[in-house]
Amino acid sequence: MKLVPIMTIEEAQKLVDNWIKTTGIRYFNELTNTAILMEEVGEVARIMARQYGEQSFKKSDTEVNLADEMADVLFVLICLANQTNIDLTDALQKNMEKKSIRDADRHKNNEKLK
């Protein structure tokens, strides 16, 4: 088993930024990265539809890797956060607080979830 140190969201943002500036040369513009994000989310959706939904895999889908595709989504999302000066740790904390207040009883009272 490969032991991997835990990475914070802040560390992930710095890691991606360093990779972009050294290997990727520069960030694609925000609109290009948004389009790339949509493409990567589509690849995750295609795998999910085939692996967990009713669609069957095509012969060209034999080498799909859901974890890798999700990592692609995360990478591009982090790129966009870096480009727009969003601290994802802070944003996630605030979002969880919002959800915790707004949805305190919502899901408990949802008959569809019981």
| Tens-place pLDDT, residues 33-46 | 999 999 999 999 99
What are the backbone angles phi and psi of residue 9, rounded to the nearest 5°?
-65, -40
Using DSSP's 3-state secondary structure scheme, residue 7 falls into: coil
Q: What is the pLDDT of residue 105?
A: 86
**Is the Cβ–Cβ distance between 57 and 50 less than 8 Å?**
yes
Q: Is 34 exposed, middle or buried (0-12, 13-18, 19+ CB in 10 A)?
A: middle
Nearest one of 38, 89, 47, 92 to 68, comparing CA atoms: 47
Distance (Å, whole) CA 17 – CA 79: 7
Q: What is the pLDDT of residue 23?
A: 96
Residue 63 predicted with pLDDT over 90: no
Q: What is the pLDDT of residues 9-21, one digit of tens each?
A: 999 999 999 999 9
9-87: what CATH class?
A: mainly alpha
Q: What is the pLDDT of residue 25?
A: 93
Across the range 83-107, mean pLDDT stands at 94
Q: Where are the domains of the chain?
A: 9-87
Residue 80 predicted with pLDDT over 90: yes
